[in-house]
Amino acid sequence: MQPEGQPESRIENVRKPDSKPVKDVQHLLLNIQHVLPDDDIPWYKQRHLLLLNIFMIIPYLSSTTNGYDGSMLNGLQSMNQWQQFFNFPTGTRLGSLSNGVIFGQIVAFPIVPWLCDHTGRRFPIFLGSFLLVIGAVLQSASHNYAMFLISRMVIGFGGIIAVEASPMLVSELAYPTHRSVLVGYYNNLWYLGALSAAWITYGTYFMGPNSSWAWRIPSLLQGFFPLLQVLLVYLLPESPRYLVQQDRLDDARKVLVKYHAGGDDNSALVDYEMREIILHVTAAKTSSSKGYTEFIKTTGNRHRLFIIILVPCMMQLSGNGLVAYYLHLVLTSIGLISSPQQLRINGGLMIFNLGVSILMASLMELAGRRRLFLFSTIGMLISFVTWTILSAINQEQNFQHGSLGVGVVAMIFVYQFFYNAGLNGPPWVYVTEVLPTHLRAKGTNIMQIASTCTLIFNGYANPVAMETINWRYYIVYCCVTAAEIVIVYFFFPETKSRSLEEVAVIFDGEEAFGENEL
């Protein structure tokens, strides 16, 4: 909304006096370091930064809810009570339950970018979380297969609205030197939800062989984290970049002064951030139609499009789908068929994943995004090849040697270590960095659409293939992971130690700031 008394051209008329046009790209890349406060006080002793970073937990819960869903469905598949109630679903019938969330996401895709661009980042989180609470209640009350499937569609519809807005808010609101770690933690909190669901389903399993509450309680508790978001999301300030897009410059500056400068209205950092955001948004407004066709108009945007499609494919088509949604089938394929045993392995894996992912995200700014992608894909390939060989030998020997089954479980943990290193935290950091402000909502939507397409494949192909060809199916993922190594090496530039606006220089050069002066 245009503030009263402010001309439409206000954003376009901002200039720094006595400056020259931007011609030196390296000058741009170094500026942010020159305006950071020169003090040795750690962030956790500065009230404004401590408060801001604590607030980030609220959008993180969108990822936590997402993780809860995947792990809960894994746990329910290992429950005799759930299997009996829904008449032992297999193949495409089981795949439909996994993809029920995806069906809901497909319906939401057309409206999510509009919500983020026109209502800000906070309202979509509120709306999506509210719908998730409704979906969880319906899921727990299901009395047949159809109702359970519909409830999962509602969960998917609300979930994708919250999931797309949440990392954007974290990325656009975070303190510049904290952004990569904070956004990296976003996807890591997936495992907090997965861990919660794994041990909740393990505990409710012992409620009795005929008790439907064994699966209804975990289903209902899926609404707990979204409920917290509904109640708390408006404690967070709105994204200053969204506010600048709406020409609410004073509001944007107030957010930055309060949370980045601790109330110092003369902060050089805030001046720099405001100038950089304004110039970047201005360039976008004067040269962009802001439609999806913008992604194919320039070389830089085509490069971005390639990355935001490839990254979610890597996240979902590297074999992790077998662990995330079909661990039950993987463990059964190596002779581990006891329900309590499978539930314990699932719970232990989630604890391991949470610890590793937080550790690796903390090292992201030191290691860089590209290096972590390469470390991850190479490690996954080695562990997946070993996993495949052990599974093949185990099946050929009719599961007579328990040590081979233990070896497969060990390789699952090793694989997850490498997956978490590069394909859990870094993807959301990387995608939000490579996308400029005016394309971030649409680009995130494209990322989710690509992710959905791969999830649909996983949802139907994985259970059918695992039941039909068992360990041989792993060979497909070995080949895919090998191709990912080549793609990362040649097409993924490094983006660390740069502000969101400075990353644009990597893709667009001097055109990132148009003809404006800095």
Residue whose C-alpha is closest to residue 504's, from 516, 486, 488, 487: 516
Domain end: 216, 236, 256, which one?
A: 236
d(CA 381, CA 391): 15
**Cα three-residue angle 377-67-233, rounded to 5 degrees:** 120
Residue 284 lies in a domain: no
pLDDT tier, 136 (very low <50, low <70, confident <90, very high otherwise): very high
Cβ atoms of 163 and 59 within 8 Å: the answer is: no
Residue 259 lies in a domain: no
The share of the chain scoring above pLDDT 70, in percent, equals 89
Question: pTM for the complete prediction?
Answer: 0.76
pLDDT surpassing 90 at residue 337: no
The answer on 188 and 74 residing in a single domain is: yes
The answer on 421 and 353 residing in a single domain is: yes
d(CA 452, CA 98): 12
Domain end: 191, 210, 236, which one?
A: 236
Q: What is the CATH number of the domain that holds 127?
A: 1.20.1250.20
Q: What is the pLDDT of residues 504-515, one digit of tens each?
A: 888 887 665 554
Q: Which of 5-19, 96-110, 313-327, 386-400 has the lowest mean pLDDT?
A: 5-19
d(CA 244, CA 260): 16
The whole-number average pLDDT for the span 33-62 is 90
The answer on 339 and 221 residing in a single domain is: no
The answer on 300 and 217 residing in a single domain is: no
The answer on 84 and 201 residing in a single domain is: yes
The answer on 82 and 178 residing in a single domain is: yes
d(CA 163, CA 168): 9
Range of the domain at 149: 39-236
The answer on 105 and 207 residing in a single domain is: yes
The answer on 229 and 332 residing in a single domain is: no
The answer on 223 and 312 residing in a single domain is: no
Q: Which of 17-26, 260-269, 371-380 has the lowest mean pLDDT?
A: 17-26
Residue 517 lies in a domain: no
d(CA 374, CA 485): 6
pLDDT surpassing 90 at residue 61: yes
pLDDT tier, 9 (very low <50, low <70, confident <90, very high otherwise): very low
Cβ atoms of 392 and 310 within 8 Å: the answer is: no
Top mean pLDDT of 74-78, 114-118, 422-426 is at: 114-118
Q: What is the pLDDT of residues 160-218, one digit of tens each?
A: 999 999 999 999 999 988 988 898 889 888 889 988 998 899 899 899 888 899 999 99
The answer on 48 and 181 residing in a single domain is: yes
Q: What is the DSSP letter of 435?
A: S
Residue 4 lies in a domain: no
d(CA 123, CA 128): 8
Cβ atoms of 335 and 399 within 8 Å: the answer is: yes
d(CA 439, CA 455): 24
List the beta bridge partners of residue 21.
Answer: 517
Residue 20 lies in a domain: no
The answer on 299 and 232 residing in a single domain is: no
List the beta bridge partners of residue 517.
Answer: 21
Residue 452 CA, distance from chain mean position: 13
State whether residue 21 is helix, strand or coil. strand
Residues written for the chain: 518
> 19: buried, middle or exposed (CB in 10 Å: 19+, 13-18, 0-12)?
exposed
Residue 264 lies in a domain: no
Number of domains forming the structure of the chain? 2
pLDDT at 225: 97
Position 245, amino acid: Q
pLDDT at 492: 95
Own/partner pairs, 271-276, CB within 8 angstroms, 24+ separation: 271/35, 272/31, 272/32, 272/35, 273/176, 273/240, 273/499, 274/244, 274/249, 275/14, 275/16, 275/518, 276/31, 276/499, 276/501, 276/502, 276/518
**Cα three-residue angle 195-202-400, rounded to 5 degrees:** 100
Residue 68 lies in a domain: yes
Q: With left for phi above 0 and alpha for psi between -120 and 50, is residue 87 left, alpha or beta?
A: left
Give me the residue label for tokens 């060979």: 475
Domain end: 188, 219, 236, which one?
A: 236
pLDDT surpassing 90 at residue 465: no
d(CA 342, CA 77): 10
Q: What is the DSSP letter of 48?
A: H
The answer on 230 and 301 residing in a single domain is: no
Residue 34 lies in a domain: no
